[in-house]
A = this chain, B = another copy of it.
Amino acid sequence: MEKLRLAIIGCGIAARELHLPALKKLRDRIEIVALASRTREKAKRLSQMIEPEPRVFDTVDELMLSGIAEAVDLALPTILNPEFIEKALKCDLHVIAEKPIAINVENGKKVLALAKRSNKVLYIAENYRHIPVYKKACKMIASAEIGKPVFFFWKSTKEMKEKNKYAMTSWRKEPAHIAGFISDAGVHHIAAARTMLGDIEEVSAYLKRVRDYLGAEDTITMNLLFENGAIGNYIASYGLEFGNEISIIGTEGNMYIEGNKIKVFTAGSQKTMEAPNSDGFFEEFSDFYDVVKFGKENLLGSPAQALKDLTVIEAAVKSFRERELVKVARLLE
């Protein structure tokens, strides 16, 4: 099988620090053949980090129309996803695009419609769906290692200082995407939660903006009601830092996820399992390759799933703004 000829569109932090290291490990399957970025200089710098050096195009349109690539990797500000996904699909290119699928559910639905009309692959790059520890936890929960899961708690806090490289990104400083970091990073956590416990039926939430220099609310507490009947809470903050915790509590035991370790406590026994330590990007591009080249079903890069992740966040924001409990499915109607 010949290599997948991939072009990278958008040569910022995500392309350079997250995608490139994974793609380098996949050089036997994927060749980076072209690059384009808003500023040519950025694309040129990235090209010099790649062997063989890919061609740098002046514009995205030229790249897409050139026929050089069969797939594009969109590592762009979220707001650009719909336009560039549409452009690429129209050019008969397969697409892998960074999460969130769009800046809000309304735009996300449009992206989903684009994908349905196209016979090309649209793969949303949600690396948390590929992180081995969550997949392993999912299997352990399914095999009832903690009995019936009934309570879920996730606390993720990381204070973004004013000079943080992500906080400084211009499209994050004045975010068009809903509630800034809360959706940008939050979809990751919701994807992992849904991987492990299934769909979320309803949420309620309070948000708060603690740091003025962050472009939107930076702190959230969200109550979750899962379709399987479990309840739970999700706390995230990018303005405050007070620890991290992932706890899944079942009728017969407790599961805690710490890094790539899963600790399970049941009556009279305790064990620690380890999953491969990976940020999921390698697995993600590898899966994308299989979907494009071997027609593997697109389960983990499914735009519909990515839209659901975003919808949970938007439901929480709606709950806060309109002061009501929000059924997630209602926003998808």
Contact = CB atoms under 8 A, between A and B. Distances in A.
A225 B247 contact: no
What 7 pairs across the A-B complex have the smallest Cβ distances?
A204-B204, A206-B231, A221-B233, A240-B249, A323-B325, A208-B231, A242-B249
A207 interface: yes
A251 interface: yes
Interface of A: 150-151, 153, 155, 202, 204-208, 210, 219, 221-225, 229-233, 235, 237, 240-243, 247, 249, 251, 254, 319, 323-325
Nearest to A243: B247
Contacts of A249: 237, 240, 242
A205 B219 contact: no
Tallying the copies of this chain within the complex gives 2
Nearest to A225: B206
Contact of A219 (B150, B155, B221): B150
Which has the most chain B C-beta neighbours within 10 Å: A151, A202, A224, A240?
A: A151
20 contacts: A151-B210, A151-B221, A151-B237, A153-B155, A204-B204, A204-B223, A204-B319, A205-B223, A206-B224, A210-B251, A221-B223, A221-B224, A221-B233, A222-B223, A223-B223, A240-B254, A242-B254, A319-B325, A324-B324, A325-B325
Contact of A208 (B151, B221, B242, B323): B151
Contact of A235 (B202, B233, B254): B233
B233 A151 contact: no
A241 B241 CA distance: 25
A120 B327 CA distance: 50
